[in-house]
């Protein structure tokens, strides 16, 4: 008898499910989380402002933060726009900080005349500094404190 009741309940659920789906799809007033249609452009205000003043480092050997925008910088296998100012051959005339000499060492520690492949993609370690609001609580304290 219990088996027959179970089969009856399954049969009722199978028959009622398509009706529930139709009801859910026909409900009007459903809105997107964005509050706009898929094809509509939504203006978003900037969350942070780029700060040209250099931030202090929070711990020893922290990679320096980038004090300028790099939005349009090309950094790929063939080009690295950062090197147009920061390579040792150009940094003096561009009044830009020179890369650390560690960027010119290969894996075996040999000195190179060009940036090592292991240091080519600058934004692996260096990010633009921004005075952005914290997304989650952060209790980090600088080692300088």
In angstroms, the CA 129 to CA 56 distance is 10
Q: Report residue 132 CA to chain centroid gap.
A: 13
User: What does each of the 145 residues of the chain score in pLDDT, given as a tens digit?
Assistant: 577 777 777 777 666 666 555 555 555 666 777 777 778 887 766 656 666 677 888 888 889 989 888 888 999 999 999 999 999 899 889 999 999 999 999 999 999 999 999 999 999 999 888 877 888 998 888 776 5
In angstroms, the CA 135 to CA 145 distance is 23
Residue appearing with tokens 């063939």:
78
**Domain spans of the chain?**
70-134
Query: Domain 70-134 classified CATH 1.10.1130.10?
Result: yes
In angstroms, the CA 145 to CA 101 distance is 29
Nearest alpha-carbon partner for 115 in 86, 136, 145, 92: 86
């Amino acid at each position: 008898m219990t088996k027959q009741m179970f089969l009856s309940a399954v049969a009722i659920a199978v028959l009622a499910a398509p009706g529930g789906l139709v009801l859910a799809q026909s409900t009007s007033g459903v809105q997107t989380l964005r509050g706009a249609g898929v094809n509509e452009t939504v203006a978003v205000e900037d969350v942070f402002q780029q700060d040209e003043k250099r931030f202090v480092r929070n711990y020893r050997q922290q990679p320096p933060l980038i004090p300028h925008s790099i939005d349009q910088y090309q950094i790929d296998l063939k080009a690295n726009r950062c090197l147009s100012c920061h390579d040792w051959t150009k940094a003096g005339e561009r009044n830009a900080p020179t890369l650390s000499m560690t960027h010119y060492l290969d894996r075996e520690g040999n000195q190179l005349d060009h940036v090592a492949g292991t240091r080519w993609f600058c934004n692996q370690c260096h990010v633009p500094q921004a005075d952005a609001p914290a997304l989650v609580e952060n209790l980090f304290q600088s080692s300088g404190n």
